[in-house]
Amino acid sequence: MFPRRQTSERNLPDIASAVSERQTPNAERQTLNGNRMMLAFLVWGFSALMIGAAIGPLQALNYGGINAYPYLRPLLQTYYQGLTIHGVLNGYIFTFFISCGLLVYLPARELGLRPNMTLWRICFGVMAVGTLMLVFAMFDNSSSVLWTFYPPLKGSAFFYLGITLVVLGSLLPLAIVLDLRARWKRLRPGEPTPLVTYMSAATMLMWFLAAFGTGAELVIQLIPWALGLTATVDPMIGRTLFWWTGHPIVYFWLMPAYISWYALLPKQAGGKLVSDPMARLTFAMLLVFSLPVGSHHQFVDPGISPIWKGILTALTLSVALPSLITAFTLGLSLEYAGRLRGGRGWFGWFTALPWRDPSVAAQVLAMLTFIFGGAGGIVNGSWQLDNIVHNTTWIPGHFHITVGTATAMTFMGVAFWLLPHLTGRKLLSQRLALVSVWLWFVGMSLFALGMHWSGLLGVPRRAWVSELPHSVYERVYGSAHLPLTLVAIGGMILWLATIAFYIVFVGTLFSRRSTEAVPIPFAQAFGGKESHAIATPITPYDIAPQPTAKGGEPDDRETVVVSANPHISPLAKVLEHLGLLTTITVVSVLAAYIPILWPLVNNMTAAHGWKVW
């Protein structure tokens, strides 16, 4: 047996450094492989964003009355082709790759355990093949069906098969995270799962259940239809199955950003997380509440009972609860950090935050914009108010201050410390990184303000308005001239932000300037017995010292066992039962969707495919 020594949490910083120094060559090799795999996910994801973000301002110019697409042929034929590429690459490929990287890498590093590298590589490979199929189907202009791919708009089989592969690949991290959690709990029986791993597991369980909707739509309806095996498709069933996935997918984008906000940002800001149990409660509520409410996107659709539309309004508002918990918990965490840095008065703590750190600035600004995104979401989820803004530019305006700002800016901020951490290279320019953050914030704020404003004036979404003759454009949309001008200006500023960010990103990748080891900024929970420390490393079981080949005594490296936390929150204990939470979610999803889908299945509509581009 290896000698063991008990230690208190008081000595955890010493343990962390000791474990790092005592890694075997095999462990170092595994760490290097994990770093390279995470870097592959990061580069692929941001490469997709680079293409999608480059096309995005063309949509902004369109609403400003400037039609740039005739000058881009044959690369881009129409507004709708550009909008499809923009939505798919940004909404699916960018977010999925970054999430599937972080949701494996961070838990593995938090627990000090080696993830299933084979499964992680398969995840990357399957998603990469799906991405290439999607790119082919979109750039050859055979599948300008937008990111929602509503039937009866009909794309090529390559498009639907590509989406299917991306979704299937994105589910594989669930098995990896659950395996990491199970192995850690065998080493630390009786303790709750460390926070990052808990949040990652909750995120992946939510996404696994969410994916059934679009998965069924693709496999049962769209792929056979695109291959010519069936002649028609039911649009209403397709839309309903899509929004089974389409609403919770927003949380698959947001929850990895929440992980950074809760578990990393407090440390980066110089403070602590004020409540570990509240962070767990947030993710548990998102797991349960985000799935049954997708049909609120169908308030104006026929075939759905008004009674259910009223119920969906109430259910949708429940999703605001975890957002409110997040606002108060993170606001207090940042205030604590700001006051430690010398901030005084009501707002002095806010200005005392490390605003010169581009990673912190990006995430704090992302959080601020998400306040407005959440408020707009209340409007979208209210049956009566949605009738005013439905299918107007209000909707993409809301979308861009959730995924386009809260998620994208957070991932950009994470990249500013993660790239040096993974590569050992110094960030090319802190100043230019900070410039890109502020340009993105200002550009997206103007863009979103203009889109919301023009939506209230009735300007439709997904409309190639710049294709109209100028006199017609002025007559129809002249009353929205100012907000549409803001949309175009915001788009141009976002273009500058994109250029600045990628100069830093690519420049860092190829820089020769080395830097000191950049640790992952895991935050420490605060609050005594009400919190559970999330920075409690252990010696991985995989790299525990082994006896010599001749049966001699092991070397002087000791297995470190951290004593169980005697002050485990009762709430954390309850929320530890992820299986129970998942069962509750499954029941709620079935209860929400069976009454909606059953009448549609019994009154099916057969529609032939349309290709209108």
**Residues labelled catalytic:** 247, 251, 398-400, 461-462
Instruction: Locate 78 and state its tokens.
Output: 């129409």
Instruction: Note whether 607 and 233 are within 8 A (CB).
Output: yes
Q: Which amino acid is present at 473?
A: Y
- Cα–Cα distance for residue pair 345/347, rounded to 1 Å: 6
Instruction: Note whether 437 and 362 are within 8 A (CB).
Output: yes
Would you state the torsion angle of the CA atoms of residues 166, 170, 176, 177, taken in this order, to the nearest 10 degrees?
A: 170
Is the peptide bond prior to 152 cis by the omega test (within 30 degrees of 0)?
A: yes
Maximum distance among all alpha carbons in the chain?
90
- Cα–Cα distance for residue pair 211/245, rounded to 1 Å: 6
- Cα–Cα distance for residue pair 442/423, rounded to 1 Å: 30
Instruction: Note whether 538 and 187 are within 8 A (CB).
Output: yes
Instruction: Locate 142 and state its tokens.
Output: 């055979």
Closest-CA residue to 48 (of 82, 17, 92, 6): 92
Which residues, 6 or more positions from 17, have their beta carbon under 8 angstroms from its beta carbon? Answer: none
- Cα–Cα distance for residue pair 152/147, rounded to 1 Å: 14
- Give CA 592 to chain center in angstroms: 25
Which residues, 6 or more positions from 345, have their beta carbon under 8 angstroms from its beta carbon? Answer: none
- Cα–Cα distance for residue pair 598/588, rounded to 1 Å: 16
Instruction: Locate 304 and state its tokens.
Output: 């759905």
Closest-CA residue to 48 (of 120, 175, 147, 143): 147
Q: Which amino acid is present at 515?
A: T
DSSP state of 524: P
How far from each other are the two terminal CA atoms of the chain, in whole angstroms? 71
Q: Which amino acid is present at 362?
A: A
- As a three-state string, the secondary structure of 242-301 is HHHHHCHHHHHHHHHHHHHHHHCHHHHCCCCECCHHHHHHHHHHHHHHCCCCHHHHHCCC
Q: DSSP E strands: which ranges in 402-533?
A: none
Would you state the torsion angle of the CA atoms of residues 170, 176, 177, 183, taken in this order, to the nearest 10 degrees?
A: 170
Q: Helices 117-139 and 79-88: crossing angle, nearest 10°?
A: 170
- Cα–Cα distance for residue pair 386/378, rounded to 1 Å: 9
Closest-CA residue to 222 (of 276, 280, 174, 167): 167
Instruction: Locate 604 and state its tokens.
Output: 């099916």
